[in-house]
Structure 1
Amino acid sequence: MKILLLLCLALSGLLFGKNLLSVPSIQKEVEKVPTATICYDSPDHEAYFPNGMKVFTKKIENYITLKSLKVKKDEKILTAMLNFIIERDGSIIEIQVLGSNVSFNKSVEKATKYINSKWIPAKQNGYFVRSKVQIPLSMNLK
């Protein structure tokens, strides 16, 4: 009786093991989709702001109020890295600001959300794609 049970377990392992190996991978089908979710490769053209990066950073600068900034006495220059994603329609999503001054980070994030102008999205293989943008920012407090 025990030998029959062991034999059944061994055979079922072989049978079910072969079925698991023959299941096609779903990931291979996803990789063939012509539009990328986020463009990690070099696109045909990068996302860009219609009037240039200087205009975009100037808009951010105009929305930042000095009253909202909490600065230490020895801080003369505030720096941050602005990260966001440009959607296929040119809108900005997933805004993240990294820097040493928390109030400056929050002000930059808030200012970026106020900008209503859309970007020209990146294009790859003839399709508009989402892309990540990083902009280093600094503010000199004289």
Structure 2
Amino acid sequence: MLAKEFQKHLNAEKNPFQQALAKKDYADFMVKLDSIQNNAFINTLIKVKNREDLDAYTTLPEVQLKNPPRETLTEQAQYPGGFEKLRTQVADLFYQESVHADEKHIRAEVLFMVERDGTISNVHAEGHNFTFNRQAEIALYLLPEKFSPAKSNGNAVRYRFRLPLALTFD
């Protein structure tokens, strides 16, 4: 919607100097909007992490970080559309402008639990770059679809999932 309104304003402006100023104002506005949106995502991540930490203290000590043995697992957790769709959606949701890196290649492994109802929890990214890790966690929490849960003998079970991620700067 913003892009359409900007384009209308730009098309209506006949002075090339005013057009250039409008483009610069739009670019500055979008950077500020991205920053505001990223802060909102980070605040949401903090709320979710705090809620998960509190749940760990208030629920029964049933939380297991290990998957059931493969022999008893009849169906693994799956993202709708498969692993490649999961990676594509995470990449689309990833806010790479906030990643500050001294290296050309950054890697992280994101670990999370797929709950019995298909939601995800306990997202934790492990890697050498703090900002990359946080953005990876935020992207996982923003996924629009639920997983199909893992099953053991027909019953839904919690499942630990690993997602390797990498970012290359040109």
TM-score by length of 1: 0.70
Looking at structure 1, the residues matched to 83 and 128 of structure 2 have their Cα atoms a distance apart, in angstroms, of: 23
User: Which residue does 1:50 correspond to in 2?
Assistant: 80
Q: Please, which of 62, 72, 94 is the counterpart of residue 122 of structure 2?
A: 94
SS at match of 1:62: helix
1:84-120 per-residue CA deviation (whole Å, 9 max, x = no partner) reads 0001110001100000000000000011111130001
Gaps of 5+ in 1: 1-35
More helix by share: 2
Task: Work out whether residues 96 and 135 of structure 2, in 8 Å CA contact, stay in contact via their aligned partners in 1.
Answer: no
Matched, 1:70 2:100: yes
Moved >6 Å (runs of 4+): none
Code of the aligned partner of 1:47? A
Looking at structure 2, the residues matched to 139 and 106 of structure 1 have their Cα atoms a distance apart, in angstroms, of: 13
Gaps of 5+ in 2: 1-62
Query: Percent identical across equivalent pairs?
Result: 28
Matched, 1:111 2:111: no
Q: Which has the larger radius of gyration?
A: 1
Aligned residues: 105
User: Which residue does 1:82 correspond to in 2?
Assistant: 110
Task: Report deviation, 1:50.
Answer: 1.3
1:53-80 per-residue CA deviation (whole Å, 9 max, x = no partner) reads 11111111111122211111xx111100
TM-score by length of 2: 0.59
* Highest RCO, 1 vs 2 (Cα 8 Å, sep ≥ 6): 1
Compute the RMSD of aligned alpha carbons. Answer: 1.5
